[in-house]
Amino acid sequence: MKETLRIIIRLTLSCLVAAFFMGAVFTVTDKAKKHNEHQNVQDTMLSLLGYGRANPAPADLKMAALYRYIVDDGANKYLGYMVPVKKDGAESYEFLIIDLKGNYVERFPLDLSPEAAAEAPTRKATLKTVLKPPRTFVYADSAIFAGLGERRLAYLLPGKFPGFKTFIHAMLALDPSFEIIGLEIMEHEEDPGLGGEIEQDYFKNQFKNKSFDKLKEIKVVKEPLPLEYMHYLEALSDPDGAISRKDIEKIRNKYQDSDIYAITGATISSRAVTSGVKNIAKKFAYRLQILDRVIDDQELNAVF
C-alpha cells in the first residue's frame, strides 16, 4: 500500500513538473509568435507605403489605429468607433457612437493608450466600463491611418473575404483619394499553382494605382495577361529591374484603366480577391466620409 502511494505521489509530481515546463514553453513561444506576427504586419504596412531597407521610413511617419464596433441596445444597432485622440499632449481614445443614418449619438473618453488598444482583450474590458447593459458590442474591423506630419498619407485596411477554399486575409493600402497604393495577401489556403498565385506580384500589382472610380466598376476578364504588362507588374516590386522608367510610364498609361486579368485556371480566386478589394475600399470610403463629418461637428481632436 505504501509503495503504491509513493508511486502515485511520484507520478503526480512528474505530471506537475511536466505541466509547468510545458506551460512555460508555451508562454515563451506564444509571445514570440505574437511578436513575429506583429512585426510581419508592421513590415507589410511599411512596404505598401514604399518603405523598406533601401528606403527607410521618415522620422515623422506616424500610424494611428481606428477600431470599429457594432453596438446594440436591444432596440437599435449603431456604429461605434474607437477614435485615437490627442488630450493634454498625450494620445488616448474616445468612443464615438453614430446611428446607421450617420447621425451623432454619444461619445465617451477612454482611459486607453495606443499601445494598450492594440490588444483586443484590453479594448473589450475598457469598453465594458462605458457601455453598460443592455448595450452590447462586437468588434467589426480596424483601419490604420498613416500620416506625415499633419498630412494624411494613406489608409491601411486589414480585411478578409471568402476565397475558393477558405477565407483570404489581405492588407489594402489607399491614398487620401481612395486610389489603391498597393495590395498584399497576408494569408490564404488557395490551391498552389492555381489560386495560390494571388500572392504573386503579376496579380496583386494589377490593382495598384487603380482610381476609386475605376475600382467601383472593375471586372475580372478571362484573357491571357499581355507579356509586356506582366513584366511591368513584376517590375513594380523591383525598382532596379530590366524595364526603364520611360517604358514603365508608357505601359502604365496603356493599362491604367484595364480590368483584372484572371489567373489561368483560377478565375474563382481571381474574382474573390477582386470582389474583396472592391468591398473593402467602397465600404471604408463611405464610412470614413460620415465619420470625418461627425468628428468635425463634434470638434474631436483626432490624431489623424
Taking only the tens place, the pLDDT of each residue in 36-64 is 677 889 999 999 999 998 899 999 999 99
| 87 and 108 part of one domain | yes
Domain annotation covers residue 181: yes
Domain annotation covers residue 117: yes
Domain annotation covers residue 293: no
| 159 and 132 part of one domain | no
| 144 and 218 part of one domain | no
Res. 150 pLDDT band, cuts 50 70 90: confident
Domain annotation covers residue 87: yes
SS3 label, residue 232: helix
Domain annotation covers residue 84: yes
**What does residue 27 show for φ and ψ, rounded to 5 degrees?**
-60, -45
How many other C-beta atoms can be found within 10 angstroms of the C-beta atom of residue 43?
Answer: 12
Domain annotation covers residue 297: no
Residue 66 makes CB contacts below 8 A (sequence gap 6+) with 81, 82, 83, 84, 142, 143, 144, 145, 304
- Asked if 276 and 172 touch (Cβ cutoff 8 Å), the reply is no
* Amino acid 64: pLDDT: 97
Give the residue from 149, 171, 205 where a domain finishes: 149
Q: Mean pLDDT over residues 125-143, rounded?
A: 98
Q: Mean pLDDT over residues 280-291, rounded?
A: 98
End-to-end CA separation in angstroms for the chain: 73
Domain annotation covers residue 24: no
How many other C-beta atoms can be found within 10 angstroms of the C-beta atom of residue 233?
Answer: 21
Q: Which domain holds residue 120?
A: 61-149
**What does residue 152 show for φ and ψ, rounded to 5 degrees?**
-70, 130
**CA-based nearest residue to 112, from 66, 147, 158:** 66
SS3 label, residue 167: strand
| 163 and 250 part of one domain | yes
Res. 19 pLDDT band, cuts 50 70 90: low
* Amino acid 18: pLDDT: 66
Least confident of 30-34, 132-136, 232-236: 30-34
For 47, the grid coordinates are 512596404
Q: Mean pLDDT over residues 25-46, rounded?
A: 71
| 224 and 257 part of one domain | yes
* Amino acid 38: pLDDT: 75
| 157 and 281 part of one domain | yes
- Cβ burial of 191 (10 Å; 0-12, 13-18, 19+) is middle
| pLDDT tens sequence across 242-252 | 677 788 889 99
User: Residue 30 above 70 pLDDT?
Assistant: no
| 158 and 136 part of one domain | no
Domain annotation covers residue 81: yes
What pairs with residue 161 in β-bridges? 168
Question: Amino acid identity, residue 218?
Answer: I
Least confident of 29-43, 131-145, 256-270: 29-43
* Amino acid 134: pLDDT: 96
Report the number of distinct structural domains present in the chain: 2
| 123 and 174 part of one domain | no
Strand runs (DSSP E) across 52-179, as ranges? Answer: 61-72, 77-87, 90-99, 104-110, 136-148, 151-162, 167-174
| 133 and 168 part of one domain | no
| 269 and 222 part of one domain | yes
* Amino acid 96: pLDDT: 98
Give the residue from 149, 165, 196 where a domain finishes: 149
Model pTM score: 0.86
| 113 and 133 part of one domain | yes
Rg of the Cα atoms in the chain: 24
Q: Mean pLDDT over residues 264-268, rounded?
A: 96
DSSP β-ladder status, 220-221 and 260-261 = parallel
More confident residue, 111 or 246: 111
| 107 and 162 part of one domain | no
Give the residue from 149, 176, 211 where a domain finishes: 149
Distance CA 213, CA 257 (A): 10
